[in-house]
């Protein structure tokens, strides 16, 4: 079975600084997706960034980028120029790609990020 581990329950960063959230996963599969989701105080889940395992290039979305190390099974999220609106719970998630079946998301336990003014 696949597992996702987020070892940092809480983190804090000053506004405008950079912070990195860690995520490791365990799988024997070679074809999968990895995701970072953000859950602000409203509790709405928002997709931040997605990485296909077959792509060597790290995904980026504006101030958000990932460091995907497939051999190490590591998938960290870097937030640059942190803003107060980035304050949220961040979940790392894994999706194994089945042939023709539903793709289930497996979540880590989350990292609560607080951006300080």
Partner 1 sequence: DGGITQSPKYLFRKEGQNVTLSCEQNLNHDAMYWYRQDPGQGLRLIYYSQIVNDFQKGDIAEGYSVSREKKESFPLTVTSAQKNPTAFYLCASSPRPGTGNYGYTFGSGTRLTVV
Binding interface with partner 1 (CB under 8 A)? 4, 6, 9, 33, 42-45, 47, 50, 91, 95, 97-98, 100-110
Query: What is the C-alpha separation between 116 and 112, in angstroms, rounded?
Result: 13
Cα of first residue to Cα of last residue in the chain, in angstroms, is: 41
Structure tokens at 18: 């950079």
Residue 16 beta carbon to partner 1: minimum distance, rounded to whole angstroms: 29
Is the Cβ of residue 64 or residue 107 nearer to partner 1 in the bound state?
107
Residue among 98, 96, 105, 20 at smallest CA distance from 52: 96
Residue 108 beta carbon to partner 1: minimum distance, rounded to whole angstroms: 6
Is the Cβ of residue 71 or residue 101 nearer to partner 1 in the bound state?
101
Interstrand relation of 74-79 and 10-14 (parallel, antiparallel or unpaired): unpaired
Residue 94 beta carbon to partner 1: minimum distance, rounded to whole angstroms: 12
Is the Cβ of residue 16 or residue 105 nearer to partner 1 in the bound state?
105
Structure tokens at 5: 């581990």
Is the Cβ of residue 33 or residue 63 nearer to partner 1 in the bound state?
33
């Amino acid at each position: 079975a696949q597992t996702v581990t987020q070892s940092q329950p809480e983190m804090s960063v000053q506004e405008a600084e950079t912070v990195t959230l860690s995520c490791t996963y365990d799988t024997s599969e070679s074809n999968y997706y990895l995701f970072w989701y953000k859950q602000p105080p409203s509790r709405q889940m928002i997709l931040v960034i997605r990485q296909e395992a077959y792509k060597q290039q790290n995904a980026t979305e504006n101030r958000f980028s990932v460091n995907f190390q497939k051999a190490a099974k590591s998938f960290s999220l870097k937030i640059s120029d942190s803003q107060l609106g980035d304050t949220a719970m961040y979940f790392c998630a894994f999706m194994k790609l089945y042939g023709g079946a539903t793709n289930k998301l497996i979540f880590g336990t989350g990292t609560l990020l607080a951006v300080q003014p």
